[in-house]
Amino acid sequence: MIDTTAATTRTLPWSWYADPAVAVLERDRIFRRAWQYAGRRDELPAPGSFAAVHVGGMPVVLTRDPDDTLRAFANVCRHRGSVVARGAGVRGTLQCPYHAWTYGLDGRLRAAPRTRDDPDFDACELGLVPMAAGTWGPFVFVNPDASAAPLAEALGDLPDVVRARGLAVDGLRFHHRVEYEIRANWKIALENYLECYHCRLNHPGLVSVIDDRRLELEAAGLRASQFNPVHPEARAGQGPLDVSGGAAEGQFHLFLPSLKINSQPGPPNLSIGPLWPVAPDRCRGYLDYFFAPEVSEDWIASFMAFDDQVGAEDTALVEGVQAGAGSGLVEHGRLLAHDEQLIAHFQAYVRERVSARSSGSARA
């Protein structure tokens, strides 16, 4: 049994950050059962659109079929398993490049060469595997579990909190995407995101923009949130990023399991994107950057230089944690009750899902 009292202050076992068996359990019990960010609605600009994306590291194709219904499917041919769709575009069907099996945007198998010679072939049973799809503002989400409860139920109060804290997501415009890879377990990368205990020592630029000693922490359902008031000197126009106008605080949310939603103080800005495991000691992710139409390109350039610097600092820290935690020399770590409460919330989520009916290698 799991000691739930100890679990609130003790980290997950460090073996979970290096064990391939745990990585398989996380894939099957977390990423294949959760709502995750899949991209933007503007990637499907009209009926007949499709976009090949990745969700939790899994190949997915989004479609907007002729009746204007948003759909999501496993981007895997039912014949021999090839990826069917690549890129994005507008067309009436999706054709597998391996043997030309052709699917409608509703997922149904429309044609398969030479199958008339197979008396047991039933095209009705061989459509693309469906997934659940939903939207929040300009964002598209997918759950690999087609029978999942609606997205709105999973999001809970997150859209209301984001709006109440001063960010109107529908008023933003997509600017660009940044992809990245980190040589560390996905959980370590997110745990670093969930605390600012390390900020004063490691992010001098960041703590001159936000006041890390007055931050608010909240955890509710699948949301883990940090609200950082702007530093008084930055509000006066000093520091590495001009935030003298606009929002007087930053808001940073993790939507479990792995979606980061960031808005710094200053003119309306947002970066949003997922992180997913590719190996026990490696993860990938991307961030889609949005800004209000009136935000100048000069400010965006300054913002990106600031954001890139903080990201580089975090990457070095996270990869250092992987080197230590993944060594097997220490069994657990110790969380601070206040400053690392969001990590405890995240780890409880992971622990509950991985430990259920698990083998001994995944016991906490």
Q: What is the C-alpha to C-alpha distance for residues 27 and 354, in angstroms, rounded to an integer?
A: 10
Q: What is the C-alpha to C-alpha distance for residues 290 and 299, in angstroms, rounded to an integer?
A: 13
Q: Which pair of tokens denotes residue 18? A: 């290096």
Helix axes 297-325, 186-193, angle to 10 degrees: 120
> What pLDDT tens digit does each residue of the chain (364 aa) get?
233 344 478 999 999 999 999 999 999 999 999 999 999 999 999 999 999 999 999 999 999 988 899 999 999 999 999 999 999 999 999 999 999 999 999 999 999 999 998 999 999 999 999 999 999 999 999 999 999 999 999 999 999 999 999 999 999 999 999 999 999 999 999 999 999 999 899 999 898 888 888 889 999 999 999 999 998 887 777 778 889 888 899 999 999 999 999 999 999 999 999 999 999 999 999 999 999 999 999 999 999 999 999 999 999 999 999 999 999 999 999 999 999 999 999 999 999 999 876 444 455 5
Residues 67 and 120 in one domain: yes
Residues 142 and 164 in one domain: no
Q: What pLDDT does residue 252 have?
A: 97
Residues in contact with 300: Cβ distance below 8 Å, sequence separation at least 6, in sequence order: 175, 291
Domain CATH code at residue 269: 3.90.380.10
Q: What is the C-alpha to C-alpha distance for residues 307 and 238, in angstroms, rounded to an integer?
A: 17
Is 229 domain-assigned?
yes
- Domain span at residue 46? 36-147
pLDDT in tens, 260-297: 999 999 999 999 999 999 999 999 999 999 999 999 99
Residues 291 and 191 in one domain: yes
Q: What is the C-alpha to C-alpha distance for residues 168 and 296, in angstroms, rounded to an integer?
A: 18
Residues 233 and 92 in one domain: no
Residues 40 and 168 in one domain: no
Residues 143 and 228 in one domain: no
In this structure, what DSSP letter does residue 27 have? I
Q: pTM for this one?
A: 0.93
Longest dimension (CA), the chain: 77
Domain CATH code at residue 53: 2.102.10.10
Residues 134 and 220 in one domain: no
Residues in contact with 265: Cβ distance below 8 Å, sequence separation at least 6, in sequence order: 209, 210, 228, 230, 234, 235, 243, 246, 247, 248, 249, 250
Q: What pLDDT does residue 309 have?
A: 96
Q: What pLDDT does residue 237 have?
A: 75
The residue ranges of DSSP E strands in the chain, in sequence order, are: 36-40, 49-55, 58-64, 70-74, 88-90, 93-95, 102-104, 109-111, 130-136, 139-143, 173-182, 216-220, 223-229, 249-255, 259-263, 269-279, 282-291
Is 46 domain-assigned?
yes
